[in-house]
Structure 1
């Protein structure tokens, strides 16, 4: 019985060594990093949503335009206008539309369709 377990243990060790050699040395994983501008249109729009959400945190239109250049957008204001109008037409969640509208407004691309989705700061009253 002891001989059986010894043989089993030796076989497992040899198998593990061969597996590690084949996986790490002989046939390592080949990864091909894709560029962000190779994303499908749907994922570029998702990325634009994330850029708009990031804009809410830093309020930097230049940084937002630079982030959009990573996905191959040359005209960031025009692209944000298109994405925002498409988001309104497709009735995506309100918070996402408001983020896109805020970015479009900051880039001077506010259209009549976007007006109802603007975030408006209410004046503070005396509570009166």
Structure 2
């Protein structure tokens, strides 16, 4: 999901047997491991000076006390961007076409997304 702000959110279906703390620790471990594997590309540290040119994996958002915008929600801004579910094909295309995966506003979503299958449907089944 492009968040409608600056980033992306990755969703995963969970079976409900783990606590919020368990999920946060899993996300932190995963983020730290990815940082070890690709330190030139990824960081799990929130410090802004460490983030330029890297993907910041914000594992700390995975906790019950945090609020995260839900898919298809509008951001409360002058130009209302939408937290838009994306396909893996769109994400893959962005690797070779920088700028192709951008935040979409309300009108773009209404014009271009309503007649497509919802990528979130697979998680809900």
Flag the structure with higher strand content: 2
Flag the structure with higher helix content: 1
Greater relative contact order (Cα 8 A, min sep 6): structure 1 or 2?
2
Task: Mark yes or no: TM-score above 0.5.
Answer: no
- With normalisation by structure 1, the TM-score equals 0.26
Pick the structure with greater CA Rg.
Answer: 1
